[in-house]
Amino acid sequence: MAMKLLALGCINRNGSSRSAGLSPTPHYPSMPKYPKGAAVDDTTVSRAEAKVLFSVVGMTCAACAGSVEKAIKRLPGIREAAVDVLNGRAQVIFFPDFVNEETIRETIDDVGFEATLIPEYDTNDRSTQVCRIRIKGMTCTSCSSTIERALQVIQGVQEAQVALATEEANVQYDPKVVSYIQLLQAIEDTGFEAILLSSGEDMSKIDLQINGVQTGDYMRIIEQSLEALPGVLALESSLEGKKISISYKPDMTGPRTFINVIETTGSKRYKANIFPEGGGGRETHRNEEIKKYYRSFMWSLVFTIPVFLTSMVFMYIPGIKSGLDTKVVNMLSIGEILRWVLSTPVQFIIGWRFYAGSYKALRRGSANMDVLIALGTNAAYFYSVYSVLRAATSSHFKGTDFFETSSMLISFILLGKYLEVLAKGKTSDAIAKLMDLAPETATLLSLDEKGNVINEEEIDSRLIQKNDVIKIIPGAKVASDGYVIWGQSHVNESMITGESRPVSKRKGDSVIGGTLNENGVLHIRATRIGSESALSQIVKLVESAQMAKAPVQKFADRISKYFVPLVIMLSFLTWFAWFLAGKYHGYPESWIPSSMDSFELALQFGISVMVIACPCALGLATPTAVMVGTGVGASQGVLIKGGQALESAHKVNCIVFDKTGTLTVGKPVVVKTKLLKNMLLREFYELVAATEVNSEHPLAKAVVEHAKKFREDEENHVWPEARDFVSITGHGVKATVRNKEIIVGNKMLMLNHNIAIPIDAEDALAEAEGSAQTGILVSIDGEVAGILAISDPLKPGAREVISILKSMKVTSIMVTGDNWGTANSIANEVGIEADLVMAEAKPEQKAERVKDLQASGHIVAMVGDGINDSPALVAADVGMAIGAGTDIAIEAADIVLMKSNLEDVITAIDLSRTTFSRIRLNYIWALGYNVLGIPIAAGALFPSTGFRLPPWIAGAAMAASSVSVVCCSLLLKYYKRPKKLDNLDIGGIKIE
């Protein structure tokens, strides 16, 4: 399976089982790079860390890599882990004091892959890089397909995608075999201009402007000072532009450090700041293109309007007509000379782009829209020149010129291109809006050793570095990803996650850059900045989605290969047929307009056929709809990873749901307590919590959290000391607290310790299981003292979502690793039939269930949230990951639902269906336009109605078809989710 994107994160669920096997999904899973107690000073760490490389067998795609990477990072003492799925390798940087190679290897094995340690390796061996290239000059799918083929045949290129709508190429290549410079050259060789946007070598890069530097010697001193900094990877400087570009590792250094070094080096003679934003951005390029077409169109009007007036209007005004018909030489009139002079700049200067495009296309052995326009306008222009020269050399020749045809044709096509580029720019609005979310400035705090604020400073938000403390006031945007270290507030995250309700934030909670702080003041510590931030990752994901082609686009690509040659042939046949019919009197002479002869009539029909055919509309039908659809999805918290996911999702007729964390909240809570001994509930929970606080199990944490409610008056919960603590895997725990033996666990644990279970306890356990709850027994000194019922609550609206899916003719199935009793109870609650439930399933069994459904003819979507769902997410036709907060890009999935709301499953399917209906409409319009337009242009209606399509009107129609397809796609911007969802109260829920 093709690699999708580099893994950004998975929401993990521990694989340990205990009684019902419930496991929570943390809202914002933390990924500490350093173990607790380990020094975070760079110099200390570098001496203590070690690097190893493993060969990992069995990985098939990046989803597998994401699973392996997450599992490794969950181990204590892991600083960094990177998994290369293409070469089956995993590189790990770790602290030997906390973890060893064998533990890491066993962890990889536990995920389901076979790992072998590679003794020696080159840490700089990077087998795959990805670069993005902007391509100028593409006009239709023929151009994009040609470039794609040229890149794919280069040795070392693993994958190449060229997007006509975004005018960009995404190339995955082996840097040991080929360089990005060779890729650029290959594109240039096909006749297009290529500009490198980014290469895989740039981890983090910043451009600084330096003022005050006069000579190259001073610049070299600054370079040497910067190169000496730890974490600086590469430098590029320009004395003329007073610019220096720095590539660096963001976890070791940052832009403020660079500015400080530059200014200190020059004894304050030099001033440095972030280089002003300029060329290179997609928006800047788009604006330049819009201005270029606008200027060309306006200049063409300057010449075309007089040509139009002299040929179409003034000929009916007696006084002016006689002046224009005045003969200069033989039959050559003043009007013809004027039209010749005025149309020539339009044909050869303003219309030069069509000559250049035609030459490049023909040189590489293909034909595009430029070829059609160049042939059509040249036929009209040079026949007109022939007519003028005949008139100048003959005393009786009466011919007609078509100068207005060539000039008006070029003008209308330029107008069409201008409107098309204008409309195409709006398809990228989603990305522009996302990028605008980042605030321009931030308030940087300086803290003393005790954590007190000693200074505040307003800085450019691009100068934020890792571990900075930032102050966020009410009404301000959060400047960076991080976590709250002080304060309490509500943050509006709708612009990132689509969650409409403000989310409560307090100490320890994660925040996302670009979100809006609503009331209280927050101090946050920055953890992910620049390209690592959630906002940047979303932008990259949406951009990648817009680059990816939907399979249905292959239809347009196949047609484009033969389209232009076929049109040229049809154009020639049209001219030839009308010419022969006229020559041999195949139609009455009365059909021929008085201003022309049969040859000129035939020529007009031929030119009209040539210029009315539009390959652009076909080429834009799919990518523009995909661009708008993915952008709309992102704004609603549904990230769709490209055309493939969109196309598959609209066909889905079966959805497989995981239970824990998907249909349920994923966070167990104590819902009922029954005491069998005469004691205070607070005293009971103190003994239980003192025992359970030593366990990492999700159910234990639920018990401890519930116990805290009985000690709300205390800020720091200190439980009594537990001695002789023992954890019995799969059963429970025991310890001695206040000289009493406390055992907390399931029925089997009690029986193993010869503890009698009263009838009341048996009844309570049966009642809990019947209600989809987990029953836990507590014994004190060998006697059952109480029963706890723990439940993983159903997500709000889960039943309604299943019901709506049923009305959409989508079958819902539940697959879970939990026990059959709990699984059947949950299924009954949400409305899933008992025969559509699979319980006690291992990760590989979930994937097998998906494959069985596919084999029976279903198009299957899998909805899950954890590592154990990854195999099934990959196996499904469409993998949908329930995500939250900053962990927005679960690699195994094709669609990421950034909120934890199940309603987004319906939104994703409905948006996919709506987008695909728009793609079909685009194809119907584009194909129907050509199928109907070409016969009309060829004169099919002329014999019966006398109607013919002049070439300049045919050209205007061609331009209008492309614009109409783009505008049709743009209507997707007004997409609204199904009204059924508006009547449901399915907001995100939070369990304190």
Report the catalytic residues. 658
Task: Determine the Cα–Cα distance for residues 488 and 519; give it in Å rounded to an integer.
Answer: 9
Tokens representing residue 896 in the block: 């990421």
Contact yes or no for 101/72 (Cβ under 8 A)? no
Task: Determine the Cα–Cα distance for residues 689 and 701; give it in Å rounded to an integer.
Answer: 9
Tokens representing residue 849 in the block: 């269930």
Q: Which ranges constitute the DSSP H helices of 670-797? A: 681-692, 698-708, 747-752, 759-770
Gap between the terminal Cα atoms of the chain: 41
Sign of CA dihedral 106, 107, 108, 113: positive
Task: Determine the Cα–Cα distance for residues 275 and 270; give it in Å rounded to an integer.
Answer: 14
Residue in 656, 628, 644 with CA at minimum distance from that of residue 911: 628
Place of tokens 């949406």: 542
Task: Determine the Cα–Cα distance for residues 328 and 346; give it in Å rounded to an integer.
Answer: 24
Map residue 818 onto helix, strand or coil. coil
Task: Determine the Cα–Cα distance for residues 603 and 303; give it in Å rounded to an integer.
Answer: 24
Sign of CA dihedral 774, 780, 782, 783: negative
DSSP string, 122-158: -TT----EEEEEEEE---SHHHHHHHHHHHHTSTTEE
Q: Which residues pair with 193 in a beta bridge?
A: 136
Residue in 487, 445, 444, 486 with CA at minimum distance from that of residue 462: 444
- Phi first, then psi, for residue 968 (nearest 5°) are -60, -40
Q: Which residues pair with 811 in a beta bridge?
A: 654
Contact yes or no for 497/529 (Cβ under 8 A)? no
Residue type, 143: C
DSSP string, 67-113: HHHHHHHTSTTEEEEEEETTTTEEEEEE-TTT--HHHHHHHHHHHT-
Contact yes or no for 192/366 (Cβ under 8 A)? no
DSSP string, 935-992: HHHTTTTHHHH-----HHHHHHHHHHHHHHHHHHHHGGGG----HHHHTS--------
What Rg, from alpha-carbon coordinates, does the chain have?
35
Contact yes or no for 882/795 (Cβ under 8 A)? no
Contact yes or no for 839/828 (Cβ under 8 A)? no
Place of tokens 């069995």: 58
Contact yes or no for 304/407 (Cβ under 8 A)? yes
DSSP string, 409-428: HHHHHHHHHHHHHHHHHHTT
Q: For the purposes of burial, counting CB atoms within 10 Å of the CB of 757, is it exposed (0-12), middle (13-18) or buried (19 or more)?
A: middle
Beta carbons within 8 Å of 973's beta carbon, 6+ residues apart: 426, 429, 628, 631, 632
DSSP string, 639-680: EE-SHHHHHHHTT--EEEEPIIIIIB-S--EEEEEEE-SSS-
Beta carbons within 8 Å of 658's beta carbon, 6+ residues apart: 814, 815, 816, 846, 862, 863, 864, 865, 866, 869, 872
